[in-house]
Amino acid sequence: MEVIPQYDLSRLPENTALKQQTLPTQQLNLSASVVLSIFFTTGGFCLSMGIILLISAKSTKEIEINYTNTCANCAQLRENSSNFDKACNCSLPFYLPEKMEGDVYMYYKLYGFYQNLYRYILSRSNIQLAGKDIWDTTYCSPFQVSYNDTPIIPCGAIANSIFNDTITLSYSVNSSTQIEVPMLKSGLTWWTDKYVKFRNPRSSNFTSTFAGSTKPLHWAKPIYELDLDDPGNNGFINEDFIVWMRTAAFPTFKKLYRRLNRVDSFAEGLPAGNYSLSVSYNFPVTMFKGKKSVVLSTLTWIGGGGLFLGLTYTVTGALTLLASFIILTIHLTMKRSKLCFQ
């Protein structure tokens, strides 16, 4: 006698179209004219956008001042670790040939600095940077503790290698008068970085909160003294620190350092004329055969003056239009051949 197995009916799927997989199907059956219209429209749109983006990128004004060799004496001093605490300043005069209208941004640019190394990227403590546990140094090797086993805050290779040159821009009103260009050190970071990823511990006394820790090896002062004049820009939420901690994808990169405060003589931007950069040289680059420079630039509605996005749209549009004409030729040829056989 055959035994009929018993099933648990409660485990059966509900009798609905979705769970019984009986939903109606839909199959696209596009005609050649519809496909060609989509191809031509997409190609035309991408090509037009590419041209617009390239024209916009070309409209930005930018000047780059490389000071690696200009401050050669400082470079030799700073490469010697025994002279790390010695200040070294240099001045770089330059001429701005035409006015930079509107908002002007100052960047520092590094050549040959690899922030994209896997171990370098991982050498940080996000829990520490968020102010949740400032003593967490779990993933900060090899910069977890100092030589006397004191925890480093902020820990990790990224924080330890922070760009620490100080750059000041001056404008020569005439041959005898020079004024400092007003620059803002706020509004440099992403909102999520400033108010979510980087937070200070909830304490009114940073000195006691960070007691028992030490600053990174190559820092001149501890994290809670980065900007004593502005509590909203001190500690882990210091914007120069946050900008550096967002690692770059390529070995040549620039990061936002300051933005023009459009007041008085600079209300409309940077006027053409003679300028000078006063640099406190601290960040060494010659040991890894790198270079560094200062970039002054304006922005457009799409951002900076990079051509990559415009070129991408242009090439994509051109290739799509080329494919559209090839498909159209094949379609007309096959259609003509079909009429001949009839």
pLDDT digits (tens, 9 = 90+) for 75-103: 666 666 555 556 678 888 999 999 998 89
φ/ψ (deg, to 5) at 338: -65, -40
pLDDT digits (tens, 9 = 90+) for 149-190: 899 999 999 999 999 999 999 999 887 888 999 999 999 999
Tokens found for residue 69: 């060799």
Over residues 116-132, mean pLDDT:
93
Whether the Cβ atoms of residue 36 and residue 43 lie closer than 8 Å to each other:
no
Position 6 confidence tier, pLDDT thresholds 50, 70, 90: low
Give the strand pairing for 183-184 and 253-260. antiparallel
End-to-end CA distance of the chain: 68
Q: What is the pLDDT of residue 58?
A: 82
Q: What is the pLDDT of residue 155?
A: 94
CA distance 152 to 215: 6
pLDDT for residue 71 is more than 80? no
Q: What is the pLDDT of residue 86?
A: 60
pLDDT digits (tens, 9 = 90+) for 192-208: 999 999 999 987 788 88
Give the amino acid at 87. Answer: A
pLDDT digits (tens, 9 = 90+) for 204-222: 788 888 988 999 988 989 9
CA distance 221 to 197: 22
Q: What is the pLDDT of residue 28?
A: 78
Q: How do the domains of the chain map onto residue ranges? A: 62-303
**Could you check whether the bond before residue 142 is cis, i.e. omega within 30 degrees of 0?**
yes
Q: Which residues pair with 296 in a beta bridge?
A: 63, 106
- Average pLDDT of every residue of the chain: 87
Give the strand pairing for 273-280 and 166-172. antiparallel
